[in-house]
Chains A and B, each alone.
Chain A
Amino acid sequence: MATKESSPGKGHKGETRRDFLQLTAAAFGAVGVGSVVWPFVDSLNPSKDTLALASTEVDLSPVQVGQSITAMWRGKPVFIRHRTPKEIQEAADVNVAELRDKQSDSERVQKPEWLILVGICTHLGCVPAGQKSTDPRGDYDGWFCPCHGSHYDSSGRIRKGPAPKNLAVPEYEFVSDTMVKIG
C-alpha cells in the first residue's frame, strides 16, 4: 500500500520522511493493539482468588499404614498413601532402566513411608482408582486408571497402558512429623 501511494512522489525529497512516518505510525499501531489485546488474553488466566488456594496443609496423623487419603489441592485430588514395607520394597526393587518414565522411588518420595502424588492420570486427566481398599489397584499394586487402562505401581510410576508419564509429585514439605504442606 505504502509503495503504491508514494509512487507519484517518487524521487521527491519527502519520500524517505514519509516512509519513516508511516513505519512509525504502523509501529505505534502494533504496540497499541498488542497492549490492548494482552489484558484480554491474560484475564482468562487464573485469577487472584484461584491463585490464593495454591497451597494446602494436610494432617497425616490419622492415616494408618496401608491406608490412603485424598486431599484437594488447586481443585485436583492429591493422593497420600501411607505405604506398607512391602509396597516400599516393591517400589525400590524395580529396574529403573525398564521404565517408560525413568525415575527411581527415592527421587519420588521425601520419606519412604509417605507417597504423595497428584491423583490425575497423565494420559487424559482421569482420577485413577486405588485409594480405597476395595478399588482395583492394577497389576503393580498401585493405581489403575479406569478410563483408558493405565497401571501405576506403588511409587505412582506408569508401568502399563497409554499414559506417558508417572503420576506427578507435587511440591511439598513436611512442616512437622505429621503435617505436610502441599504447594
Chain B
Amino acid sequence: MASGKRESFDNPVVEWIDSRLPLFTLMNKEYGVFPVPKNFNYFWNFGAIASFMLITMIVTGIILAMQYTANIHMAFDSVERIMRDVNFGWLIRYIHMNGASFFFIAVYIHIFRGMFYGSYKAPREILWILGVIIFLLMMATAFIGYVLPWGQMSYWGATVITNLFSAFPIIGEPIVTWLWGGFSVDNPTLNRFFALHYLLPFIIFAVVFLHVWALHVCGSNNPLGIEPQDKKDTLPFHPYYTMKDSFGLLVFLILFCAFVFFMPDALGHPDNYIPANPLVTPAHIVPEWYFLPFYAILRAITFDTNLVMLGGFGLMFMPFFWNVLAMLVKQFAKMDLPRFKAMTPKAPFLIGGLVVAGAGFALSGLIPLLTDVTIIEAKLGGVLAMFGAIVLWIFMPWLDSHPVRSAMFRPVFKTLFLILVVDFIFLGYVGSQPADAMLVGLPLSIFGLIATAYYFAFFVVVLPILSVTEQGKPLPKSIHDAVLSQHKAAKAAKK
C-alpha cells in the first residue's frame, strides 16, 4: 500500500500527513473513487448497516463495562443500578440490548442476500467464508453477553448451551468443566465470560476488516451477478453509495429506535428480570430469537443415528464430497477429476439415484430391526446438526457450482431458496415453542424435523443437483445494458 501511487492534496496539512503516511490516499482509493457496480438495490445497504451496528455495540458496550460488576452476587444488581441510577444508563443499556437484535437482523438479511444473488461464488469464496466466521463469532459474543446480566435466562441459557459440549464422547465432560472453571455455571464462568465478551467484538472487528479487504480485492457482486466490464458499469463509491447507504441506515435506525424507546423489552424474555437461581429452572428455556432456528435444529434430532442411517446420510453427501475432492485435486495436483457437471445428462439421474438410495437407507434405519448399532447418540446428533447447519454455509461455493450467480436468472433455485427462507423462519417459530407443543393436532417436533430435513436437503442435495440441471435464463450483456433497458422500459410504461 505504502509503495502505491500517492495523490497530492490541496490542503497542506492533509498533504503533509499523506506524504508521510498515505492514509488519505488509502481512504480515497478504498472509499472515495472505489468503483462499485451501479445497479445495487437496497439489500446492499445491510453491510454498511451491520458495520454501523458493530460500532454501536462496541461503544455502548465499553460504557456499560465501566458500570458493570462481573460477580454472581452483584451482576444483576449492577445492571439494575445502570438502569436506575446511572445517567442515561437505561438508554445505553437498551441500545446495547436491542442493538444485538438489530445487528443480527442486519446480518441475517446480509447473509440471505448473499445467498440469493450468489455472492459466495468464485472469486468471492474467501470473502464469504470470512463472513461465516464473523457470524459464528457474533453468535458466541451474543450468547456470552446474554449471560452477563445474570438473570434466570442468562444462567439457564448458559447451562444448556455449555452442556452441549458434554455430548462429545470422552473429552466432553472435561471440556465443560474447563469452560465453567468449576462444576456448574458459577462465578468463575461469569468472570471469564465478561472478559471474553469484551475481547470478542474486537476480534470480530479484525475479521470484518479482512472481510472488507477481501471485498475490495474482488469487488462487490450485484443483483445481476455478472462482473462489471468497464467504467460504464460502475460508479465511484462516494458520493453515490455513501449517500444511498446513509439513507438506508437512517430508515433502519428509525425502526431500531422504535424498539429502543417504545418496546425495549419486546425482544427479550421476562425471566431475565428474575435473578439467576441454580435451583429453579424456568418452565421453558428459550434462547434469544436470533438463535431459535438453530435451536430448533438442535431439538429436532431426538433419535439415535445408527450405522445404516449414517451410511444413508453419507450417500446423500456424495455429490458434494466429489465436488470438493475435484476442487482440491484441481488446485493441488493440477488434474481434472470427472465432475458431475461434465456427465450431463446422466448426472441428474445419478445424483437423483444417490439421493433416493440415501433417503431410503436413512429411513430404513428408523426400523429398529434392521440395526441397533448406535453410532451417534441423539444428543450428539443434535449438537452436530446445529453446528453443521452453520458450517455448511462455508461449503456453499462448492455445493453450488452453477455458473450463474444471481437467483434472478435461476427460477428453480429462486423458488427453492425462498422456500428455504420461509423454512428458516418456521424453524425459528418451532424453536420458540415448548418441546411438547402441538400444531394442527400433530406434535410440532415432527414439523421441526421436516423443516430441518429441508434445510439440510437444500444445501447438500438441491444445490448440487441444480448446479447440473438448472437451465439458467440468458444473462444481459453488461450491467450498463441491463440498467439502460430497465430505464427505457420504465419510461415507456410512464408514457
Q: Contact residues of A with B, CB < 8 Å?
A: 41, 44-47, 50, 70, 72, 74-77, 123-129, 145-149, 161-162, 164
Contacts and interface: CB of A to CB of B under 8 A. Distances in A.
Contacts of B229: none
Contacts, number: 80
A76 B281 CA distance: 12
B410 interface: no
A47 B177 CA distance: 11
Contact of A125 (B159, B177, B179, B284): B159
Contacts of B133: none
Contacts of A129: 281
Given A74-B184, A75-B182, A164-B377, A125 B279 contact: no
Question: Which of A45, A70, A124, A126 counts the most B-chain CB atoms under 10 A from its CB?
Answer: A124
B183 interface: yes
B181 A47 contact: yes
B378 A50 contact: no
Contact of B183 (A44, A74, A148, A164): A74
Contacts of A145: 281
A41 B174 CA distance: 12
22 contacts: A45-B178, A50-B181, A74-B182, A75-B182, A75-B186, A76-B183, A76-B278, A77-B279, A124-B160, A124-B164, A125-B163, A126-B159, A127-B280, A127-B281, A145-B281, A146-B281, A147-B281, A147-B285, A147-B435, A149-B434, A162-B299, A164-B379
Contacts of A164: 377-379
A44 B177 CA distance: 9
B435 A44 contact: no
A45 B163 contact: no
A161 B302 CA distance: 8
B382 to A, nearest CB: 8
Given A50-B186, A146-B283, A147-B435, 4 more contacts: A76-B183, A76-B278, A129-B281, A164-B377
Contacts of A44: 178-179, 181, 188, 192
Given A44-B178, A50-B188, A126 B160 contact: yes
A164 B374 CA distance: 12
A29 B95 CA distance: 47
B177 A149 contact: no
A126 B299 contact: no
Contacts of A74: 182-184
Contacts of A127: 278-281
B156 interface: yes
Interface string B177-215: 111111110101000100000000000000000000000
A10 B322 CA distance: 42
B436 interface: yes
Contacts of B281: 126-129, 145-147
B182 A46 contact: yes
Contacts of A41: 178
A148 B299 contact: yes
